[in-house]
Amino acid sequence: MATLGSLGTVHTTDLLIVGGGIAGLATAIVAKETDPEVDVLVLDKVVSGWGGKANKGGGNYAYMVEEDGFDRFLDFHVHNVGDFLEDQELLLAYGKESRPNLERLESWGVHIYRDDAGEPKFIRWMPQHPWRMCVMDQDMTLNMHRHAIKLGVRFADRVEVIDLLKDGERVCGAIGFGMLDGECVVVKAGAVVLAGGNQCYKLMRRWSSARGEGIAAAWRAGAAMRNAEFGSFINWVFSDTKEVCQGAEDCLYNAKGEQISRAVRPAIESDVHSKEVVAWWREMKAGNGPVCANMAENYVNNVVAPAFHDDKLAFRPVSMKFWGLTIGRAMAASTVQGPMQPVLPGFIGEQSPVMVDHDMATTVPGLFAVGDTSAGGSSLAGAVPAPPGRMRGSGLGFATFSGARCAPAALAAAKAAAGEPDAALAEELKARILAPLGRSGTAAPELVRRIQDVMSPVGNSILKNDERLNAALDEVLAIKEQLPHLAAVDPHYLAACHEVEAMALCAEMFFRTSLARKESRGWHLREDYPERNDAEFVKWIEVHDAGGEMALSTTPVPIERYPFRP
């Protein structure tokens, strides 16, 4: 019988964190601040501090202070954002802890721009929004990484974690392989925190690092999922360059010159919504395309973006260089002249369904999930993709909030652990993980494209009905049958094989839960059930593994104990 040592390189730690982006780094830092003697190991499939999505986004951080009115924030959110599927207690805690967490980020080396009175410089997306947004430069995770090293956090990069090790029902480690040599890597740990991001299906470049491997690992370990039906976020993109066109949602025109945004967005809202994607889709199907964003009327481009990049708010040299190399280069290459720019919805996903409690503990003992991995499953944002949860800046906010909340609980779990990973299980998992290297068969990119083709159409992912959802699910199940035939020629293709598994799992979960929610609520729009149904669906839809098959159940939102009700 195999021993753990015979399987490959073995690491031992008190607390294992999978993912070195902002959520993983926040968890690691707070863990070391809580107990400097604890051993914390962070594994990343790329390079900690450089990976994740935080350093590729806008650097926006949503926070509030008492004078903004925490109850006002909660009231606004449940009525205008999450449609009463929020965990209002957790959302309120986010609001109250957001400013202290901003101070935490600064103490970890993240530069916060302050005014002469020492207060953070901020703007509001719209004056009526009861939260503020400050900005950070895009080197935030590098600075946090340096701070974590000073505290004694250990890092091992280019390690792809695929599965979790258990002692009975308790998670006590992980197993994967080295991205450079393909050798098996085993980690024994008192507790494990998943911080590797959510599922974005590799379609949009700046979100493509989020491939759902942590979600799949949690699922195979027995963790429950929640709110998977909301994982279909889009961002508007220019048709020719496919670069993001923020603000297009408020200034869309059809080819007849008719303003189509105002019918569904009479006022500027907190973020993109699926309803204007439906308006675009219907115009295109009616032959009224192309649909264009009138950049002369683009509030985000003309008002918000200049404010964020005004030296009076923040001078961000790293960000300015980054945007110049991405959006700036794309705009310069545009083949369309003038303010009327053809746009289309660029499918992202942002599916983050790992179900967690207020300490970010999953339903499996010893296993926690933070940041994008559990943003939707936490129910903090409600009936919207999370992040961004229709609240710009909440991605950075939730990553920091969840990491800070998770660390003490994960430490307590690690200290209480006394188990040893099951070596027989580890041996089985190693064989499964490395199996594609030993066979010929289907190349991963072929199945990736098929999954993208079924996820990205608006008629499948945004405006849903039974017929299209069932057809999409059938295609995903057909793809699922091909997974045992995936083949890899090196560690990078091996990683791609496991990414395809995660994509297929998340796609199946998305379509099954979308079929189960027979109403329209928040981001989830049903053509055949166009009304919100509070009598039957003020409920969270949860997914559990039942003998290898997905079993769905519902849990009523405990609305009677919350301050705001439908």
Q: pLDDT tens across 120-179, in order?
A: 999 888 888 999 999 898 899 999 999 999 999 999 999 999 999 999 999 999 999 999
Contacts of 496 (CB under 8 A, 6+ apart): 444, 445, 448, 488
Quote the pLDDT of residue 456.
96
d(CA 248, CA 269): 12
CATH architecture of the region 4-231+350-424: 3-Layer(bba) Sandwich (3.50)
pLDDT for residue 351 is more than 70:
yes
Residue 87: which of 365, 529, 401 has the closest Cα?
Answer: 401
Task: Give the strand pairing for 225-226 and 539-546.
Answer: antiparallel
pLDDT beyond 80 at 1 = no
Percent with pLDDT over 90 in the chain? 83
What φ, ψ does residue 166 adopt, rounded to 5°? Answer: -135, 155
Q: Name the band, by pLDDT with cuts 50, 70 and 90, for residue 43.
A: very high
Residue 311 has pLDDT above 70, yes or no: no
How confident is residue 272, by pLDDT bands cut at 50, 70 and 90? very high
Band the pLDDT of 534: cuts 50, 70, 90: very high
- CA–CA gap between residue 471 and residue 258 (Å, rounded): 34
| pLDDT one-digit tens code per residue, 378-418 | 999 999 999 988 998 999 999 999 999 999 999 999 999 87
Q: Are 5 and 121 in contact (CB under 8 A)?
A: no
Residue 134 and residue 122 in contact, taking contact as beta carbons nearer than 8 Å: yes
Mean pLDDT of the chain: 94
Residue whose structure tokens are 């009115």: 69
For residue 78, what pLDDT is reported? 97
Cα–Cα distances in Å, from 128 out to 19, 131, 206? 36, 9, 30
Task: State in Å, rounded, how far the first CA of the chain is from the last one.
Answer: 58
- The CB-side HSE value for 554 (13 A sphere, CA atoms) comes to 15
> Average pLDDT in the 176-203 region?
97
In the structure, what pLDDT confidence band is assigned to residue 358 with cuts at 50, 70 and 90? very high
Query: Which pLDDT score is estimated for 56?
Result: 83
Instruction: Report whether pLDDT(315) > 80.
Output: no
* CA–CA dist 197, 178 (Å, integer): 19
| pLDDT, position 308 | 67
Distance CA 112, CA 119 (A): 9
- pLDDT category of residue 312 using cuts at 50, 70 and 90: low
CATH class of 431-561: mainly alpha
Q: What are phi and psi of 314, to 5 degrees?
A: -165, 135
- Looking at 444-546, which runs of residues are DSSP E strands? 463-464, 486-487, 525-526, 539-546
The answer to whether 234-348 and 431-561 have equal CATH topology is no
Going 314 to 316 to 322 to 324, the CA torsion angle's sign is positive
Radius of gyration of the chain (CA): 23
Q: What's the pLDDT at 309?
A: 64
Whether the predicted pLDDT of 115 surpasses 80 = yes
Task: Give residue limits of the domains in the chain.
Answer: 4-231+350-424, 234-348, 431-561
What is this structure's pTM? 0.97
**Cβ contact 393:59 at 8 Å:** no
Distance from C-alpha of 25 to C-alpha of 19, rounded to nearest angstrom: 8
> For residues 102 and 184, what is the distance between their CA atoms, to the nearest angstrom?
39
pLDDT category of residue 19 using cuts at 50, 70 and 90: very high
Instruction: Give the model's pLDDT for residue 442.
Output: 92
Q: How far apart are CA 412 and CA 438, in angstroms?
A: 41
Report yes or no: 330 and 241 within 8 Å, Cβ to Cβ.
yes
Lowest average pLDDT, out of 319-328, 342-351, 549-558, goes to: 319-328
CA distance linking residue 340 with residue 352, whole number of Å: 35
Measured CA to CA, the distance from residue 486 to residue 509 in angstroms comes to 21
The CATH fold assigned to 234-348 is Flavocytochrome C3; Chain A, domain 1 (3.90.700)
The region that residue 427 occupies, defined by phi over 0 for left and psi between -120 and 50 for alpha, beta otherwise, is alpha
